[in-house]
Structure 1
Amino acid sequence: MKTYNFSTAFIWVILSGLLLSAAVVVCAFPTTLTLHRAIPLKDRVELSQLRAHDRARHGRLLQSIDGVVDFPVMGTYNPYRVGLYYTNVQLGTPAKEFNVQIDTGSDVLWVGCSGCDGCPTTTGLQDVQLNTFDPSSSSTASVISCSDKRCNTGAQYADALCDNSNNCAYQFQYGDGSATQGYYVSDVFHLDTVVGNTQTYNNSAKILFGCSVSQTGDLTKTDRAVDGIFGLGQQSMSVVTQLSSQGITPAAFSHCLRGDDNGGGILVFGSIVEPGMVYTPLVQSQPHYNLNLQSISVNGQALSIDSSVFSTSTSTGTIIDSGTTLAYLAEGAYDPFVNAISAAVSQNVRPLLSRGNSCYLITSSVNDVFPAVTLHFAGGATMVLKPQDYLLEQNSIAGAAVWCMGFQKIDGQSMTILGDLVLKDKIVVYDLANERIGWVNYD
């Protein structure tokens, strides 16, 4: 029986009250991934039209950047459709393509390995064909042994252990109870760099990534199955860290996820420079992208929440995570937040309770009824949330819209997680070199 180390990574939390699940790179030449919807639109807009629309929009963002790498990336934040973003990466020689979920809440890029137990072979995602990686089929692949000095750096929050074949092994347990285990491989990661939107040339680098031989839990489900996880955390095994340490890319990446019905967005290896960008320091010595959230205001009025509710430790604090679909408030902040929203709209809405979740029946524009919410961070940075950044539209009743609270509570925990619900329609920059995260609204 093979023995694996147990490592932990945070990707998503699923609340049974809602049918929701969690979703979500660098040198002289930043890497850009273009995001598109994973399912057909109601009006049957072709993906080629969306890509053309996105490229025009991305050009405005990237006009000051000399080179980009453009990957065909699919997905949407909408939890009633797919609830994740994923991209294609090319690994090995000859290059083979894999669809992997974009996740800033974990560190390791891993894909299913040939012979994997529990890895889905089909998926409900549109135009996606699942693949597995076979190290013996790549002329540039090498399996990492336990004696390799890189083996210990490959572990997340624990020392790496060996399997019975002396391979450097891993096991990741995710927040929803699913898990994957396998071993580390070194092989070529391919980048197609576009210069001036007219010329393309191939770039590549050797990286370490995981080759999973077993999956359990939700990772075995076929409805939104992909080939693996693209961890974009800040630890040593992250592709961001690996490429920047080789001098191939800068220690920064950015994303902008569109929140309109057409979906789409952009993920860039490098920093997007946009007027109005504000930054707050990363909390140091934390495994995730932890920020120092200090207070919350509703309609300009600070909520009465003890500052200790947002204090940071290994299991508390505020995390910004593109791999989470919704947003979650620490237990001590949730009730004051929901109560303040409900009080602000009490004269204009009919409150509802849907499977334990606070909902509101409204007959006018959500922007005319619900207040702005402001998150206050260390260093004076603020993030202003529109109603669509903390509410989800579910359905309608007799012509009236039903909007439900998109912020959820994690019972018994003091963790606040800002997922795609909050991050959409904003440029978010992960500036690892300067240990800070920045954002600005971008429609």
Structure 2
Amino acid sequence: MSRLMMLPITYILLVLMIQTHDKSFSGYASPAEANVRLKLIHSGAYAPKSDYDQMERIQELVHSDIVRQGIMFSRHRESTRRKAWEKPRPRTNVSIEMPISSGRDYGTGQYFVEVKVGTPPQKMLLIADTGSELTWMSCKRRNRRRGFRPTRSSTFKTVPCSSRTCKIDFMDLFSLARCPTPSTPCSYDYRYSDGSGALGIFARETVTADIANGKGRATKVKDVVVGCTLTIRGQSFQGADGVLGLAYNNYSFANRASRMFGGTFSYCLVDHLSHNYLSNYLTFGGVGAASHSPLLSHMRYTKLDLTSLSPFYAVNVKGISINGALLKIPSLIWAAHRGGGTIVDSGTSLTFLTEPAYRAVVGALGWALSKRLERTKLDGGGPLEYCYRYNSTGSWSGFDESWVPRLAIHFGDGARFDPPVKSYVIDAAPGVKCLGFVSTAWPGVSVIGNIMQQNHVWEFNLVQSVLGYAPSTCNST
């Protein structure tokens, strides 16, 4: 990954002029006093695309996912230093919740959270991402309609480039070595082969959240590591003000918030084709009340591997079955210590399988579907190669889920994940359904994407290294 050697001097001077004195506000409460909510909304909320073409959406979704894989795993290969997870506070009954909804109405597979950053708070629209370590937002520039204004926040404190934090602790966050003066802000440069990237400076900030049913009160999460991005390159972050880092790292927002609420967080993703008025919650402190349903009594658990593929959330997959029969996939495909492994990622939409596993899965599913439906190609091509045409007009839909073999993912400790058919046979265009898998090179890491996770509640227990999951409608409205 290439790095810029220096930041534009005008931006450095801007941040050096920031006042860092703190001010007190009335009406605030400790996080332990009540539940808290930050509103999560889908991409493009300020510019809805009601006429967005489904084919165009799928093509952009696939492109975004492929770019994302390059970003995530190039960073994983370069980032080798990992600090031990800091012990969280004992688990309590208190939790904070952030409403989460599908981006279907805006042609995206991402989930967005509206976060109040700084003092006084400024509203930022950030991607909620379990594959990102750093929380960063675009800093306000003259040619930008939105963006964070650090000069207007009394709690924005830059990290000096001469500090140990910059030189050592932030190496995994791609801090730059250049340090013109001891007080120059520590900078970062994410630069990737597709041309996208983010260039900015590190700081520590306060995130403010309204308390659910708190009658106007709010709570503050202090000392959050943030990036003030000054230059964004490429299309990977289009439509957002930045990223809310939820990966397993001591400097991610997931770490900061989870440590305050017992070391757990969970989410329940509504159907990816749901409209924006249907939502559920991203919860810190356990499975939120809004996610509760009778199905939660069927919660299953499997080991969460927090070391092999850190900072990602890895699971020990044993194999994949079709109609109860395990496919012939070499075991090393699932072994992180042998170049493979599997992660669960909320920021990737489709499910990526390394080539040997991909061929086995799409071969078995495709063979069954080809008996009923005509195979076709998506206009414009793309990596979704197993697509099928059916009659989508009139009262008869022409597609029956009973034609599709049941897929299950088996974990090494005996747990099994049974996604609904709509999670792996997806709508790609009017009258066309595709297998929602993308092939990735071997050796490599497989990714269980958010479409495969939909209509389930997922709980990440970072203390006990356990992943819990259960089917749910995820509809809290």
Fold match (TM-score > 0.5): yes
Match of 2:242 in 1: 228
1: CA distance, partners of 2:261 / 2:457: 19
Query: Given that residues 373 and 390 in structure 2 are in contact (C-alpha distance below 8 angstroms), is that contact kept between their aligned partners in structure 1?
Result: yes
2: CA distance, partners of 1:174 / 1:250: 35
Q: What per-residue deviation string (whole Å, max 9, x for no partner) do you get for residues 37-71 of structure 1? A: 543668xxxxxxxxxxxxxxxxxxxxxx9655455
Which of 160, 168, 190 aligns to 2:186? It is: 168
2: CA distance, partners of 1:220 / 1:198: 33
Instruction: Flag the 1:73–1:291 CA change in 2: closer, same or farther, 3 A.
Output: closer
Identical-residue share of aligned pairs (%):
25
Query: Given that residues 192 and 202 in structure 1 are in contact (C-alpha distance below 8 angstroms), is that contact kept between their aligned partners in structure 2?
Result: yes
AA in 2 matched with 1:191 = A
2: CA distance, partners of 1:70 / 1:432: 17
2: CA distance, partners of 1:29 / 1:330: 44
Match of 2:235 in 1: 218
Which of 202, 208, 212 aligns to 1:190? It is: 208
1: CA distance, partners of 2:207 / 2:357: 43
Match of 1:305 in 2: 329
Query: Given that residues 37 and 210 in structure 2 are in contact (C-alpha distance below 8 angstroms), is that contact kept between their aligned partners in structure 1?
Result: no
Give the superposition deviation at 1:73: 5.3
Give the superposition deviation at 1:101: 0.6
Match of 1:88 in 2: 114
Match of 1:377 in 2: 411
Query: Given that residues 350 and 450 in structure 2 are in contact (C-alpha distance below 8 angstroms), is that contact kept between their aligned partners in structure 1?
Result: yes
Give the superposition deviation at 1:170: 1.6
Match of 1:254 in 2: 266
Query: Given that residues 458 and 468 in structure 2 are in contact (C-alpha distance below 8 angstroms), is that contact kept between their aligned partners in structure 1?
Result: yes
Instruction: Flag the 1:434–1:175 CA change in 2: closer, same or farther, 3 A.
Output: farther
5 Å-filtered alignment, 1:236-247, equals 236-245=250-259
Which of 136, 147, 154 aligns to 2:170? It is: 154
Give the superposition deviation at 1:3: 4.0
Instruction: Flag the 1:217–1:252 CA change in 2: closer, same or farther, 3 A.
Output: same
AA in 1 matched with 2:387 = C
Give the superposition deviation at 1:343: 2.0
Match of 2:198 in 1: 180
Match of 1:268 in 2: 283
Give the superposition deviation at 1:184: 0.9
List alignment gaps of at least 5 residues for structure 2.
Answer: 8-30, 52-91, 392-397
Match of 1:203 in 2: 219
Match of 1:389 in 2: 423
Query: Given that residues 374 and 385 in structure 1 are in contact (C-alpha distance below 8 angstroms), is that contact kept between their aligned partners in structure 2?
Result: yes
AA in 2 matched with 1:269 = F
Match of 2:433 in 1: 403
Match of 1:204, SS state, is strand
Match of 1:322, SS state, is coil
Match of 1:114, SS state, is coil
Give the superposition deviation at 1:146: 2.4
Query: Given that residues 134 and 173 in structure 2 are in contact (C-alpha distance below 8 angstroms), is that contact kept between their aligned partners in structure 1?
Result: no
Query: Given that residues 255 and 268 in structure 1 are in contact (C-alpha distance below 8 angstroms), is that contact kept between their aligned partners in structure 2?
Result: yes
Instruction: Flag the 1:154–1:406 CA change in 2: closer, same or farther, 3 A.
Output: same
Instruction: Flag the 1:381–1:173 CA change in 2: closer, same or farther, 3 A.
Output: farther
Length-normalised TM-score, structure 1: 0.77
AA in 2 matched with 1:420 = N
Q: Within the alignment, does 1:100 sit opposite 2:116 as a pair? A: no
Give the superposition deviation at 1:36: 4.8
Query: Given that residues 352 and 440 in structure 2 are in contact (C-alpha distance below 8 angstroms), is that contact kept between their aligned partners in structure 1?
Result: yes
Length-normalised TM-score, structure 2: 0.72
1: CA distance, partners of 2:438 / 2:369: 19
Give the superposition deviation at 1:249: 2.6
1: CA distance, partners of 2:284 / 2:123: 19
Give the superposition deviation at 1:415: 1.8
- RMSD across aligned positions (CA): 2.9
Query: Given that residues 459 and 468 in structure 2 are in contact (C-alpha distance below 8 angstroms), is that contact kept between their aligned partners in structure 1?
Result: yes
Give the superposition deviation at 1:306: 0.6
Match of 2:314 in 1: 290
2: CA distance, partners of 1:332 / 1:80: 34
Give the superposition deviation at 1:171: 2.0
AA in 2 matched with 1:203 = T
Query: Given that residues 2 and 164 in structure 1 are in contact (C-alpha distance below 8 angstroms), is that contact kept between their aligned partners in structure 2?
Result: no
Q: Within the alignment, does 1:131 sit opposite 2:165 as a pair? A: no
List alignment gaps of at least 5 residues for structure 1.
Answer: 5-25, 43-64, 122-129
Structure number with higher helix proportion: 2
2: CA distance, partners of 1:103 / 1:34: 15
AA in 2 matched with 1:141 = F
Q: Within the alignment, does 1:435 sit opposite 2:465 as a pair? A: yes
Match of 1:250, SS state, is coil
2: CA distance, partners of 1:343 / 1:178: 38
Instruction: Flag the 1:338–1:394 CA change in 2: closer, same or farther, 3 A.
Output: same
Task: Kindly tell me the number of residue pairs found equivalent between the two proteins.
Answer: 377
Give the superposition deviation at 1:176: 5.4
Query: Given that residues 154 and 160 in structure 1 are in contact (C-alpha distance below 8 angstroms), is that contact kept between their aligned partners in structure 2?
Result: no
5 Å-filtered alignment, 1:334-373, equals 334-354=358-378, 355=381, 357-363=385-391, 364-373=398-407
